[in-house]
Homo-oligomer: A and B are copies of this chain.
């Protein structure tokens, strides 16, 4: 099998650390207008700023990744919350997960529609139920009971996503994908959050890797926090995020090497993708085998680093 190039910087950050992504895919300079590139950068910066405010105030990694993902859900450029892609039936179905490395607990929702911020519904599953994953009407009912903001389904649907589905764009304009965040807080705890609208034209009811703990989302203070993006089915079949964890925890690989090897396992299931990951020592890895990945990182010491293309070596 021909292997896709796996690129992405690995570096040692200083706590607190926050890393975000806005999806991996066919993100190449010649197909992304300057205006859209600037807008994507702005969205990633705003997400980093929101999460870092939490962390600098001594907040938890869990609160920080949720704050960061909230910004990306509300930003219609990205395939999560408002601006999510549409199913084959023209509907909107959101998946989201949060994972807390300190307690190794998690919460997730799948196939919900009408909850403005799916990541808050995922947190409600974690904090308010004995369950880990709720789907459909049951998840929506929990969100309603918890007083989360509900919006009409039309609120999520943008003209751009409708054009993507119906294929009326000669060349669909490049847009962001699944979003996610991982963080290391000053207390040494890790967390991850991921949110998505799935894939354009998917069958109604399709569940991807995002809300599955160990596939698209993972956090364990012993090893790493991971949020993945890319070909969901291949990420699910390789149990991607838990494979990264296992390679660190059981096989002794560095976090960067573990991410690369796990992406190879995903490639063996005929999929490309990428992830953001942070370890308890502050190591940050942001590798991808897709053409590009919207990504950004910030730590205690520096300015935010933003990248999109394979050529962006700073990040």
A interface list, Cβ under 8 A from B: 104-106, 110-111, 129-139, 141-142, 202-208, 212-215, 232-233, 236-237, 239, 242-243, 246-247, 250-251, 268-269
- Cβ distance A198 to chain B, nearest Cβ, rounded Å: 10
A249–B232 Cα distance when bound, in Å, is 23
From B111, B213, B232, A135 is in contact (CB under 8 Å) with B111
A130–B205 Cα distance when bound, in Å, is 13
Chain B residues contacting A268 (CB-CB under 8 Å) are 104
A132–B233 Cα distance when bound, in Å, is 6
**A104-B269, A233-B132 known; A204-B239 Cβ under 8 A:** no
A133-B236, A139-B205 provided; 16 other pairs, C-beta below 8 A? Answer: A104-B268, A105-B237, A110-B207, A130-B233, A131-B206, A132-B207, A133-B206, A134-B206, A138-B204, A138-B205, A141-B205, A213-B215, A213-B236, A214-B215, A239-B242, A242-B243
B213 to A239, Cβ gap below 8 A?
Answer: yes
**A214-B239, A243-B242, A250-B250 known; A203-B106 Cβ under 8 A:** no
Chain B residues contacting A203 (CB-CB under 8 Å) are 129, 131, 134, 138, 142
* Nearest B residue (CB) for A88: B138
A130–B212 Cα distance when bound, in Å, is 18
A205 to B136, Cβ gap below 8 A?
Answer: yes
Chain B residues contacting A215 (CB-CB under 8 Å) are 212-214
A236 to B132, Cβ gap below 8 A?
Answer: yes
- Cβ distance A32 to chain B, nearest Cβ, rounded Å: 27
Chain B residues contacting A104 (CB-CB under 8 Å) are 237, 268-269
From B134, B214, B239, B269, A205 is in contact (CB under 8 Å) with B134
Chain B residues contacting A105 (CB-CB under 8 Å) are 237, 269
A133–B131 Cα distance when bound, in Å, is 19
B135 to A110, Cβ gap below 8 A?
Answer: yes
Sampled A-B contacts (22; CB under 8 Å): A104-B268, A105-B237, A106-B237, A110-B207, A111-B136, A131-B233, A132-B207, A132-B237, A133-B208, A133-B236, A134-B206, A135-B136, A135-B205, A135-B207, A136-B136, A138-B203, A141-B205, A212-B214, A213-B236, A213-B237, A242-B246, A250-B251
* Nearest B residue (CB) for A207: B133
* Nearest B residue (CB) for A241: B239
A136–B137 Cα distance when bound, in Å, is 10
- Cβ distance A107 to chain B, nearest Cβ, rounded Å: 10
A272–B247 Cα distance when bound, in Å, is 25
A209–B106 Cα distance when bound, in Å, is 13
A110–B95 Cα distance when bound, in Å, is 14
- Cβ distance A252 to chain B, nearest Cβ, rounded Å: 9
